[in-house]
Amino acid sequence: MSKLFLGLDSSTQSLSAIVIDYDSRKVVYEHSLNFDQALPHYKTQNGVLPNADPLVKHSPPLMWAEALDLLFARMKKEGVRLGDVRAVSGSGQQHGSVYFNTRAAGALTKLNAQKSLVENLRGVFSRATSPIWMDSSTSRECGEIRRRLGGIRKTAQLTGSDAFERFTGPQIRKFYKTDRAAYEKTASIALVSSFMASLLAGKIAPIDHGDGAGMNLMDIRKKAWLPEALAATAPKLRAKLPPLADSWQVIGPVSSYFVKKYGLNPVARALVWSGDNPCSIVGLGIVREGMTGISLGTSDTFFGPMARCRTDGRGEGHVFCSPTGDYMTLICFKNGSLAREKIRNTYGMDWNEFNQALADTPPGNHGGILLPWCESEIVPRVNVPGLHRENLGAGEPSANCRAVVEAQMLAMRLHSQWMKVETRRIYATGGASANSAILQVMADVMGCPVVRIQVSKSAALGAALMAAYGWLAEEGEKPDWERVVSVFTAPMAKSEIKPNKKATRVYEKMLKAYAEFERATLRRIAKVKSIATA
C-alpha cells in the first residue's frame, strides 16, 4: 500500500487539497474549491461576508465545514485513493477565530455520517460568524492590551508581535466587550486551523504553536498561554482555550464520520493544523536558519526561520513558531508590486522598458533614493502615503525605476536586521519573482544567491509534508525536516542568480544612507502631523 498524505488549506477564498505519494515522491492530486462559486448561498464576496462597516471582516464557519464535505465528496468521486491516506493535516488562514458553546465537544465526538457536517454542527456556535485576518476594527482593544502588557517592545517581546488588529486576542477582547452574554456562553475558542482539525479528529483540537503565536496570547519563548496576556484580553479566557501543541502532533485517528462517508482508513491519523504562513515555509522547503523566503506580490513579504527566538523591538515584524520547532519571522511590506507598478505607470513604461531602465542605471543609482510609500506602509509604520526622494529628480524615469526596487530591497535588509540571521540563500516566489532584473537587485543588495521557486499551493503542500513528518515520527522513524521537504521542493528550484560582489559593496555603504534618509523622513512626517493636529 502506498503512503499517501493529505494536506488541506482553508484559506480566505477557497479550500484546497493536495495528496502526496511519499515513496514515489509525487503530488498525485490537487484540487481547489472556491467558496463564492461552490457555496453561493453563504453570500460571501471573496470568502468574506459583506458588512456596512468597512473595518469589519467576518466569514461563516459553517461555510468552511460545508466546503470540507464538498471537497471530500469530490475526492471520492474522482477516485482519489482515500483508503491509502495515512495522515491528514492542514493549513488555515491565520488569526481568524471560531466560538463554540458547551454543546460543541459532544457534537464533535458524535458526528453522524448520515448527516452533513452543517447538520451535525447546528447549534454548537456561540457566535455565528468568525472575525478573520482582514478585520481591522480592534484598534482600541490593541491599545488596551498593549498598555496592559507594557508597550510595543514588551508586547512583542512577550507574544512575538505587537498587538495587531487582526490578531485573535484583540478580536476576543472586542467580542467580550460588545457581546458579553455570548462571550459567557463560549465554552471553547478555536482558530480556523484548529476548527478544521477538530472536524477531522472528531474532538476539540489543540492550537499549534505556529498559529498560536498569531494571537497575542502565547508566551513566544515558553510556547504556553501567557497569563498576563489572557488577563489583558478577557476574563476566564484560560478555560476557553484548548491546549497548545507542536504543529506536527498527531491528535488521534480520523473521525469515523470521514471513514464511513468517504472511505478514509480508520487507522489514518488526524494531525494538528497550523497557519498558512508556517505551512508555506515548509511547502517552500525553507526549514533552516540562513534560508530566507521573499514573496513579491501586491505586498512583499520576507520570511525565514530563526533557530533562536528574537523579537522586533519596533514591533513591525512578527515572530511565529515554525512547524520545524524553530522560530520564523514574517515581515510584510505593503508597497510591493503596488509601488513597482505605480512608478512604472508614472513613466508610461511596460515591464521590458522597466527592466531596460534597471540595466541602464548603475547599482547605487548615483546616490539617488526613493521611499515608495504610495500607500500607508506597514514596515516602517507610515500613516501618511507619499513619495520621498533624495538626490533624485522626479523627471528621471530610469533612475526612479531603479530607485523603487533598490529601496524595497534595502528596506527588507534594514528591517530584518533585528533577527540577527545571516541570509545564505534567498528563495523568491510570487508574481514578480518571474522578473530576473528585479531578482538581480535582490541578490546584490542581500549579498547572497537567489533562487526562484514555483510551488503552487505551498500551504497545502506544507500541510501534506507535516502530515508525513508527524506520521513518520509516530512510527518511530525520527524524520529529518530537510529530507522530508527536499523531495518535493528541490527539483523546483530553478537557475540561481548570483550576487555581483562590486554591487554588494556599493549597497553595504548605501544601506547607511538609506537608513538615515528613512529616519529623517519619518521624523519630518511625524512633525508635520503633530503641527496639523495641534
Residue ranges in contact with ligand XUL by CB under 6 A: 93-95, 133, 166, 214, 275-277, 330
DSSP label at residue 382: B
CB closer to ligand XUL out of 135 and 444? 135
- Of 59 and 365, nearer to ligand XUL (C-beta) is 59
Burial class, 171, CB count within 10 angstroms (exposed 0-12 / middle 13-18 / buried 19+): buried
Nearest distance, CB of residue 334 and ligand XUL, angstroms: 12
- Of 278 and 368, which CB lies nearer to ligand XUL in the complex structure? 278
Q: Which residues pair with 524 in a beta bridge?
A: none
To the nearest whole angstrom, how small is the minimum distance from the Cβ of residue 254 to ligand XUL? Answer: 25
Measure the CA–CA gap between 121 and 116, rounded to whole angstroms: 9
Rg for the chain, CA atoms, rounded: 23
Q: Which residues pair with 126 in a beta bridge?
A: none
Q: How far is the CB of 47 from ligand XUL (least distance, A)?
A: 11
Residue 275 vs 397, nearer CB to ligand XUL: 275
Residue nearer to ligand XUL on the CB measure, 233 or 277: 277
Backbone angles phi, psi at 321, to 5 degrees: -90, 140
> Which H or E element spans position 158?
helix 152-159
CB closest to ligand XUL, residue no: 94
Q: In the complex, what is the shortest distance from the CB of residue 275 to ligand XUL, in angstroms, rounded to a whole number?
A: 6
SS3 17: strand
Residue 77: CB minimum distance to ligand XUL, A: 29
| CA 335/CA 403 separation, integer angstroms | 14
Q: Which three cell numbers stand for residue 256?
A: 469515523
> To the nearest whole angstrom, how small is the minimum distance from the Cβ of residue 193 to ligand XUL?
10
- The type of residue at 135 is D
Residue 11: which of 166, 161, 196 has the closest Cα? 196
Measured CA angle at 42 (ends 36, 45), to 5 deg? 40
For residues 307 and 325, the answer to whether their CB atoms sit within 8 Å is no
Count the Cβ atoms, other than its own, within 10 Å of residue 490.
11
- In the complex, least distance from residue 10 CB atom to ligand XUL, rounded to whole angstroms: 10
C-alpha cell at 305: 526561520
For residues 133 and 262, which CB has a smaller minimum distance to ligand XUL in the complex? Answer: 133
Q: How far is the CB of 182 from ligand XUL (least distance, A)?
A: 24
Cβ proximity to ligand XUL: between 249 and 274 the closer is 274
Select 157 or 280, whichever has its Cβ closest to ligand XUL. Answer: 280
Q: Which three cell numbers stand for residue 145?
A: 492590551
d(CA 458, CA 77): 25
Nearer residue to ligand XUL within complex by CB, 80 or 460: 460
| CB contact at 8 A, 304 and 328 | yes
Distance in Å, CB of 192 to ligand XUL, minimum: 9
Burial class from Cβ neighbours inside 10 Å (0-12, 13-18, 19+) for residue 345 reads exposed
